[in-house]
Structure 1
Amino acid sequence: MEENIVTLVDEDGLEIQFEVIMTLEAQEKEYAILMPLDENDDEEAYIFRMEEELDGEYAIVPIEDDEEYENVVAVYHTLMQEEGLE
């Protein structure tokens, strides 16, 4: 199993595999940019907040706050521009 592949369960109980494209930090929190492995998807990336749990593992949490989401997108675009990828 590849280390950069995670499986999430959607609201219908279906398991979906995602590749972790990158992780980044914004406003002292860690985020993961995930891309679905399913070729039928529209190639839209998803952003999740990574929260460390008591056992040292990380939970991936959806971002529900629009301002938080926009801040992460801005950091992502800045990083892509610095890398010359955008």
Structure 2
Amino acid sequence: MAQSEYGNDILTLVDEDGQEHEFEVVDTLEMGEERYMALVASYDDPQETLEDDGELVILKVLEDEDGEEYLEAIQEEEEFDQVAAIFMERLEDDFDFNEEDE
């Protein structure tokens, strides 16, 4: 798990509309030469946390020409399904997944 001594890492991601969203890194996975991150929305307000649907966001970690890492949605459905199944198995004790999430 991507965890510091103070808790899970928090990432700020910018969507296509330029809005910033904070996510908590709940797990990372290396498969072959590929690396993936499982994220959930992070809120400062405990009430917002309770109201959130807790959707697990899975992104692929890529590198640009300068060696800088960035996150991207997984484009291939088969690759996404395989990675999602691994994360869901690893995180089933921490999260309550609904059937529709699978």
TM-score by length of 2: 0.66
Secondary structure of 2:18 counterpart: coil
Alpha-carbon distance, 1:15 to partner:
0.3
2:65 is the counterpart of 1:54: yes
CA displacement 1:4-62 (0-9 Å, x = unmatched):
11111122221000111110023431000011113343111100000123333311111
Percent of aligned pairs with the same residue?
Answer: 39
Residues 1:59 and 1:52: Cα distance change in structure 2 (over 3 Å): same
RMSD over equivalenced CA pairs, Å: 2.4
TM-score by length of 1: 0.76
Distance in structure 1 (CA, Å) of the matches to 2:52 and 2:17: 16
Match of 2:28 among 23, 26, 39: 23
Name stretches of at least 5 consecutive residues in structure 1 with no aligned partner.
none
Figure out how many residues of one structure are paired with residues of the other and give that number: 82
Distance in structure 1 (CA, Å) of the matches to 2:34 and 2:20: 26
After the TM superposition, list the runs of 4 or more consecutive aligned residues in structure 1 that deviate by more than 6 angstroms: none
